[in-house]
Amino acid sequence: MGLELRIIVIGLLFFIISGASVAITVGVYNVKDYGAAGDGQTDNTKAFVAAWSVACAVQGKATIVIPEGAYLLGPTIFKGPCNGIMVMQVIGQLLASTHLEAYNQYWLHFQYINGLVISGGGRFNGQGASAWPYNQCKKTQDCKPLPMNLVFSFVMNAAIKSISSIDNMFFHIHIFGSRNITFDSIKISAPGDSPNTDGIHIANSANIQVSNSVIGTGDDCISIGPGCTNLTIFRVLCGPGHGISIGSLGKNAGEKDVIGLYVSKCNLTGTTNGLRIKTLQSSPSTLKASHFRFEQIIMNNVYNPIIIDQNYCPSANCPKRYTSLLLLQNPSLVKITDIKYRNIMGTFLSPVAYNLVCSEAAPCEGVELSDINLKYNGNGKQANNASICVHVYGSSNGNVKPDPCI
């Protein structure tokens, strides 16, 4: 399906679930009517759950209104299935409780919902500065992850638009086991040195679109895990952060393929990476990553612009039994095919523009570099060879600068 058709289809879904066609508006449920106080200090968890429970039980389209004010919330589950379309109009600001002992994995969890709209221009404030010093995941494997801001699991036919997520403790937005969701005009921000503050993470989901959004974090702006199909990302401004990443893939047995990713008209500024695919160097999975297209991308002083890394293994997560010999004997089994980089321009800071390191056991095939103009803007002298290719097969077309190795 082409990009234009995808946008039309997803737009029709939004038109329907927004209530412009068959849905009948039943009522409006203001959280203040259920005891919420927007004073920034009172715990409003029970009030929000009560408003959700009433609205979820009615037929048709129900709107929950969060008016101006600051609403403190502990971990909260907005659970379906509901009897109609749920609309959450967030005008005020939601504040995450800073009592870490109260959390499991999530702050706000939307679960088992078919038909959901979240909009209104409001903010979801994770108050992450109080929690970041407790993030030990880069130092030890046995760390307890901090809670994620907004989680959508087993959600279908949803439109999330015109909201902000700021200073989250861990991931800003996490999508799992979901289908047919659009994220439009989203603003995500956290300091560039905040740990594991991925903007949007997508896993085991299909037909997800992210558009017209601004994401600046301390980790990946958008990260894509296993089991994803038909993802579209366009007109996203990314930076600071680690860029747009697929993976890491191959960490766990039974992971599913990642098929169909279209990234276009995005701008990455000052990010550690640009467009990255990473798989674990000794993976138990034999999944595939294929049919990716990156085009019309602008990079402004991106350190590593184009990367395929099939030797990925972050130090904190590498079993001690791994040695250089074992790594040679146990290369990644993730098969990467049909990856196209087209119409990419801008500046980069590292000595290498294209770092394409694929697996000896499953070489990359069908990698294309076309019409690329990346200029070195680093402090040192530009390397003679700004392109590295290992076990990668493909082609280069048009004007490709720096000179490619395929």
* Per-residue pLDDT tens over the stretch 151-192: 999 999 999 999 999 999 999 999 999 999 999 999 999 999
Q: What are phi and psi of 21, to 5 degrees?
A: -120, -95
Do the domains spanning 1-219 and 238-406 agree at the CATH topology level? yes
Higher pLDDT, 282 or 4: 282
- Rounded to an integer, the average pLDDT of 114-118 is 98
Q: Which helix (H) or strand (E) holds 229?
A: strand 229-238
pTM, whole model, 2 decimals? 0.91
Least confident of 20-24, 216-220, 250-254, 366-370: 20-24
Least confident of 53-57, 130-134, 143-147, 191-195: 143-147
% of the chain at pLDDT higher than 70: 89
Is there a contact between 119 and 156 (Cβ–Cβ < 8 Å)?
no
Of 266, 346, 281, 353, nearest in space to 318 by CA: 281
Tell me the fold of 1-219.
Pectate Lyase C-like (2.160.20)
- What are the tens digits of pLDDT across the range 4-57? 445 444 444 444 444 443 344 569 999 999 999 999 999 999 999 999 999 999
Q: List the chain domain ranges.
A: 1-219, 238-406
CA distance 97 to 117: 24
Least confident of 88-92, 237-241, 381-385: 381-385
Q: Which residues are catalytic?
A: 242
Q: Is 398 left (phi over 0), alpha (psi -120 to 50) or beta?
A: left
Tell me the fold of 238-406.
Pectate Lyase C-like (2.160.20)
> Residue 137's pLDDT is what?
76
Of 62, 110, 113, nearest in space to 87 by CA: 62
Higher pLDDT, 399 or 143: 399
- Rounded to an integer, the average pLDDT of 262-287 is 93
With cut-offs at 50, 70 and 90, classify the pLDDT of residue 320. Answer: very low
> Residue 23's pLDDT is what?
41
